[in-house]
Each structure stands twice: as structure tokens, then as C-alpha cells.
Amino acid sequence: MASTDEELVARSIGGDLDSFNQLVLRWERPIYALAYRVIGREEDARDVAQEAFLRAFRALGGFKGQAKFSSWLYRITLNLCRDWIRRERRTPTAQAPEGVDIIELAGESTPSESIEDLVSRRQLGRAVGKAMALLPEEQRTAIILKEYHGLTFQEIADLLDCPLSTVKTRLYQGLTVLRKQLRQAGVESIFGS
């Protein structure tokens, strides 16, 4: 049976490097996805993800288990993302290739999904990425943590150090603005809603 995060953290604190690397392996994709969606740049998101693990490793001795390891890691990652946004002084942009690689897409399609469907999904994803990049950072972060990482409202509030009602307000406002932007981009008329 696979070890829990807490068990791996305890062994890592004891000096077991393999245990920490198991945590890296387990969380690298979610952490990268979080960084990518917040800052919108592939290479920078990878750098942020690596730095997040490195910082977590260095600070492991100070992790007392008050929160879940994943929440702690999310917090480190979000702080790094904020640093990146401040440093770069620019709005995150959703990177998307100009053209559509049909061969690459064919490898991604599932038996139940045609290439045309996949192209539509890609285009929709690109439109969503662009609309998300236009949201204020607080609203975007709330949506990302809720939609893509499945955190509860309370977990998000704890992570962002803000009241529960603030999280809900940010999320609701973000979704409302996003909906309008997607409608303006013609998404609802093309893909239906």
C-alpha cells in the first residue's frame, strides 16, 4: 500500500531522501498545473514548481503538520507565483500554439472523441485560458484552487488567509466575469452552454 503524505513527510524529516522524492513524484503535476494556470507560462511554471519543491525540502524541518502537506506546498507555490507576477510586472498570459497540430491531437483523442471534437476542445481551452488571464489574481487563484484542485471553500480560505465569505465572493465574481468574457469571445454561441 502506498504511503500517505504524512508518512513520507515524517520519513523525509528523518533524512530519507527517497521519501521526499516520492512526494515530488506525487505532487509535481498538480504543483506545475497550479503554477501554469496562475502565471500562464510553461517554462516559468516549471521553474516555479521546482523552486517550490526545493523550498519545501529546505523548510521541511519547520513543517509541523498543522496543515496538510499539499496545502503547505500549494501555499509555497502561490507565494512563488505572486513573486513572479510582481517581478515580471505583467499580466499572466495563456500560452497557446498558433496552429493546430492534427497529428499531435490524434494522439490525445480518446476513442469516444473525434479529432474535430478535440480541436473544438483545444480552441475552447485556449479561449478559457485567455479569459482567465484577464481576471484579477485573487479571483483567478480562487477559481483555480476550487475548479482544478478540488479544495473546499474552507481550505481555500485557510490557504489564502482570508475569510470564507471573501473566498466565495472572489469565486462568484470571477465566474461571473469569466462567463461574460467567454460570451463576448463567442464561446457560448460556438460551443453551447
Partner 1 sequence: MCTNAELILSYVYGELPEADRRTFDTHLAGCVACATEVAGLQATRGHLASWTPPEPDFGFRIVRGNAGAAPPPRRVAFTPVWGLAAAAVLVLAAAAAIANVEVRYDSGGLMVRTGWVRDVPAPENAGASPAGVAQVSAPADEWRAEIAALQSRLRELEAAASARESSGGAQLASGPRMSEAEIIRRVREIVSQSETRQQREFALELARVVGEVDRARRMDLLTVQQGIGRLRGQIPSDVQQHLNYYLTRVSQEK
Contact positions vs partner 1 (CB under 8 A): 12-13, 15, 17, 20-21, 24, 28-29, 32-33, 36-37, 42, 45-46, 49-50, 53-54, 57-61, 94, 121-122, 124-125, 127-129, 132, 143, 146-148, 152-153, 165, 168-169, 171-172, 175, 178-179, 182, 187-188, 191, 193
- Minimum CB distance to partner 1, residue 33 (Å): 5
Smaller CB separation from partner 1, 45 or 76: 45
- Minimum CB distance to partner 1, residue 149 (Å): 12
Q: CA nearest 13: which of 56, 73, 51, 76?
A: 56
Smaller CB separation from partner 1, 67 or 175: 175
Interacting residues of 134 by C-beta distance below 8 A, sequence separation 6+: 91, 181
Q: CA 130 to CA 152: how far, in whole Å?
A: 25
- Minimum CB distance to partner 1, residue 57 (Å): 5
Smaller CB separation from partner 1, 1 or 23: 23
- Minimum CB distance to partner 1, residue 68 (Å): 18
Long-range contacts of range 89-93, CB-CB < 8 Å, 24 or more positions apart?
Answer: 91/133, 91/134, 92/38, 92/39, 92/40, 92/41, 92/133, 92/140, 93/40, 93/41, 93/130, 93/133
Q: Which residue blocks in the chain are alpha helix, DSSP H?
A: 5-13, 17-39, 42-58, 69-88, 102-108, 115-133, 137-147, 153-160, 164-184, 187-191
Smaller CB separation from partner 1, 73 or 127: 127
Smaller CB separation from partner 1, 53 or 74: 53
- Minimum CB distance to partner 1, residue 90 (Å): 19
Q: CA 59 to CA 142: how far, in whole Å?
A: 25
- Minimum CB distance to partner 1, residue 75 (Å): 18
Smaller CB separation from partner 1, 71 or 120: 120
Cell digits of residue 155: 481550505
